[in-house]
C-alpha cells in the first residue's frame, strides 16, 4: 500500500507540475505581445493603384513582386462587389484577411542589420537570407468588442523602417493619413465594421492563439487552415 501511495503522490506531483508549466506558458504567450491602442487605421487592398494619399501601387508588396497574381486578382474593396469577405468574381488563393505595418525586415540582400535584435521571433522564424521573418505573421485587430485576425503581408503605411513603433513603445509618426500606423484589407474592414479611416487596437499573436473564423477557411487558404 505504501509503495502505491508514494507512486500516486509522485504521479500527482508530475501532473500538477505539468499543469502549472502549461499555465505559465499560456500566461507568458498572452503577455508576450501587448496591445497597441488607439492606432489610426486605414484600408488598402491588393491591386490598388496609386492615388491621393497612396503614392505606392499595391500590385506588388514588400515581399512579393507578383502580389496581385499570387492572390488571384484585384481585391475589389467595393462592398457591392464582395460577399462573405471576398470579391464575388474570384476566390482568393491567399488569406483575404491581411494587413500592413511600417516595417520591412528585408534589405536588398539579407536582412536589415537591426532585424535580429528587434524582431522578437527572428531566431525561431529565420529560414535564410532571402526569406522575410515578418511575412505571414498573425496580428489581432480589435474594434470595441470585436476582434479580427489578419496576416502581415506588406510594409506600410508610408514607412518601412519604423521598428521603434512596430516592436517598441513609440507611437506612429504624423503622416498624410492622420498618423496612420496600420493598413487593413477590405475583409478586415468589413468584419470589424470600420470606416475608411478609423481607430483600432492591434497586437501580434502566436498561431496557437488564432481562433477559427473567416480568416481560417480552408476553401480560401488550405495551407493555414489545417491546424485548426
pLDDT of 161-195, one tens digit each?
999 999 999 999 999 889 999 999 999 999 999 99
d(CA 54, CA 187): 19
d(CA 200, CA 8): 51
Statement: residue 220 has pLDDT above 50: no
Q: Going by C-beta distance under 8 Å and a sequence separation of 6 or more, which residues neighbour residue 50?
A: 56, 57
Q: Mean of the pLDDT values across residues 147-174?
A: 96
Statement: residue 216 has pLDDT above 80: yes
CB 149 within 8 A of CB 208: no
Single pTM value for the model: 0.81
Specify the pLDDT at position 59.
Answer: 80
Q: Mean of the pLDDT values across residues 41-58?
A: 77
Specify the pLDDT at position 11.
Answer: 42
DSSP per position, 76-132: ---GGGEETTEETT---SS-S-EEEESB--B-SSSB-TTHHHHSTTHHHH---TTS-
Which residues, in sequence order, are bridge partners of residue 183? 42, 100
Statement: residue 222 has pLDDT above 50: no
d(CA 166, CA 62): 16
CA 114, distance to chain mean position in Å, is 21
d(CA 69, CA 224): 19
Q: What angle do CA 94, 97, 99 make, to 5 degrees?
A: 105
Q: What is the pLDDT of residues 100-113, one digit of tens each?
A: 999 999 999 999 99
Which residues, in sequence order, are bridge partners of residue 36? 202
CB 202 within 8 A of CB 35: yes
> What's the pLDDT band for 33 if we cut at 50, 70, 90?
very high
Cell of 176: 498624410
> What's the pLDDT band for 49 if we cut at 50, 70, 90?
confident
Amino acid at each position: 500500500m505504501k509503495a502505491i501511495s508514494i507512486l500516486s503522490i509522485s504521479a500527482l506531483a508530475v501532473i500538477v507540475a505539468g499543469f502549472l508549466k502549461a499555465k505559465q506558458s499560456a500566461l507568458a504567450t498572452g503577455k508576450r505581445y501587448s496591445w497597441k491602442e488607439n492606432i489610426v487605421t486605414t484600408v488598402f487592398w491588393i491591386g490598388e493603384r496609386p492615388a491621393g494619399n497612396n503614392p505606392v501601387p499595391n500590385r506588388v508588396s514588400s515581399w512579393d513582386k507578383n502580389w496581385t497574381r499570387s492572390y488571384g486578382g484585384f481585391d475589389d474593396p467595393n462592398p457591392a462587389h464582395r460577399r462573405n469577405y471576398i470579391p464575388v468574381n474570384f476566390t482568393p488563393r491567399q488569406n483575404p484577411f491581411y494587413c500592413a505595418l511600417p516595417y520591412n525586415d528585408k534589405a536588398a540582400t539579407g536582412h536589415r542589420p537591426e532585424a535580429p535584435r528587434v524582431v522578437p521571433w527572428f531566431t525561431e522564424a529565420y529560414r535564410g537570407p532571402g526569406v522575410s521573418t515578418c511575412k505571414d505573421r498573425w496580428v489581432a485587430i480589435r474594434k470595441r468588442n470585436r476582434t479580427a485576425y489578419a496576416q502581415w503581408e506588406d510594409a506600410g503605411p508610408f514607412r518601412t523602417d519604423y521598428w521603434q513603433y512596430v516592436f517598441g513603445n513609440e507611437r506612429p509618426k504624423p503622416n498624410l493619413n492622420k498618423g496612420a500606423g496600420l493598413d487593413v484589407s477590405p475583409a478586415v474592414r468589413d468584419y470589424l465594421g470600420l470606416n475608411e479611416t478609423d481607430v483600432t487596437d492591434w497586437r501580434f499573436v502566436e498561431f496557437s492563439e488564432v481562433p477559427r473564423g473567416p480568416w481560417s477557411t480552408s476553401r480560401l487558404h488550405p495551407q493555414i487552415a489545417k491546424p485548426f
